[in-house]
Amino acid sequence: MGHAYIDLLVEDYMQFIEALRLRSKLFFLFILITIGLFSIGIMGAININSMKKNLDALYFGSLVPVTELNEMLQTYHNGLSSTLYKAKNSEISTFTTANELEHSLTKIKKLWLSYESHFKRDEELQYVEYVALEIKVVNRYFLKLLRAARNDTDMSGVSIVSLEKYVSHIHTVLQKLINYEVNMARYERKKFLQIYDSAIFKLGLILGLIILAVLIISYSVFASIQSDQTRLELATKKLKRLNKKLENVSYTDTLTDMHNRRYFNLVYERELKRAKRTHSHITFMMLDIDYFKQYNDTYGHLEGDNALKTVANVLVETLRRPSDFVFRLGGEEFGVLLTQTDESSSANLAREICDVVRGKEIEHKGSKVNDYLTISIGVVCCIADDALNEDILISRADEMLYEAKETGRDRYVITSNVSESKAQSIEDMTA
């Protein structure tokens, strides 16, 4: 009595330890998840701040086109205009004038090509094309003056009115484009900041909800862990009982690995009902090894078991369709159930089975019909209907098997007559 009580205490203690271990694992998992979520939040915030800095840089980078346009304006004023004023007042030579004009025009061309290479929206393209045309017109005026300077023409006759007119016009055109670029950069940054603030809020909200959900779930798990432990033990015991029942209701013959008589009863009833519903052919064969008792007496039960396995393998290898079922019904007796197989095909299969078994050339000195192991088969094949008796196929196949043995064995006999009287149509394999 004392030992039993100690064993019970030990068992309770072990269950408590297991439950405690499970709680510890869950708590550790919760800590890891929480740390992971906080880490994700921190990394997300860092990445978003980094993205903000990058886009701020992009904002200032978007002012690069503005810088290029301003530099073009400065070149028109300080490069071209200033040079021509000096040339008109004879402050510089025509050679210097030509060099400075050429340098300024080349610089303006490069700056404009660089500006055009930047991303442009569809609504910008039309005005950019207009500015390009105006630049060509103005530059054409300065190119004429450049050619004149190269030809050593006196530059004192340059019209200041025309010069100021062209420079003032291009200034207005480029300044309008500069103002547009600045306004667009400000608008894009304002829109980004709105998206940034919204993303930060959503990220915080989602992480908060996830952490809250993890806390609630963990609490529920911790609260129910003991009852779950008890349910698990009950489920384990129930599963063991069910497994025991499944073992007792095995459908496999241990010697041949074929389906046994229990499974035959299940399949036979199911397939017969199906054949009745569709009014299709159904065939049942009953097979018996000829003079099997004498074979056992001559070669021993071990060889007898090998003979049974050989016949089983012949049946399995010959009947491969999903609608073909083979069984070991008991002893040396086998059963075959075929669906959607007419009488001619059934007869051919029975003949093939007999031939293959005989072709294995298993010596059988105790046989009175052949030097090798043979089988006899009784076959019944018919179209199933509602009037078909469930037991008639088995009884008629048994009658045909008896007929095969009476008429010499090593053969099959087939009938399609499923009446209570014996069939008159008998096909002998040796005929």
Looking at residue 80, the DSSP 8-state letter turns out to be I
Strand pairing class (375-383; 412-415): parallel
Average pLDDT of the segment spanning 188-199 = 77
Contact (Cβ atoms closer than 8 angstroms) between residue 131 and residue 96: no
Tens-place pLDDT, residues 291-340: 999 999 999 999 999 999 999 999 999 999 988 999 999 899 999 999 99
**pLDDT band of 79, cuts 50, 70, 90:** confident
Placement of tokens 């004192």 in the chain = 156
Between 119 and 306, name the one with better pLDDT.
306
Q: Extract the tokens encoding 344.
A: 């001619």
Pairwise CA distance, residues 412 & 405, whole Å? 9
- pLDDT (0 to 100) of residue 395: 93
| 348 Cβ neighbours under 8 A, 6+ residues apart | none
Annotated catalytic residue within 100, 271, 332, 343: 332
Across 396-407, average pLDDT: 94
Contact of 430 with 404, CB cutoff 8 Å: no
| Segment 21-41 mean pLDDT | 69
Neighbouring C-beta atoms of residue 96, cutoff 10 Å = 14
Confidence bin at 354 (pLDDT 50/70/90) = very high
Q: Catalytic residue at 332?
A: yes
Q: What is the pLDDT of residue 287?
A: 96
- For 199-209, write each residue's pLDDT tens digit: 777 877 787 77
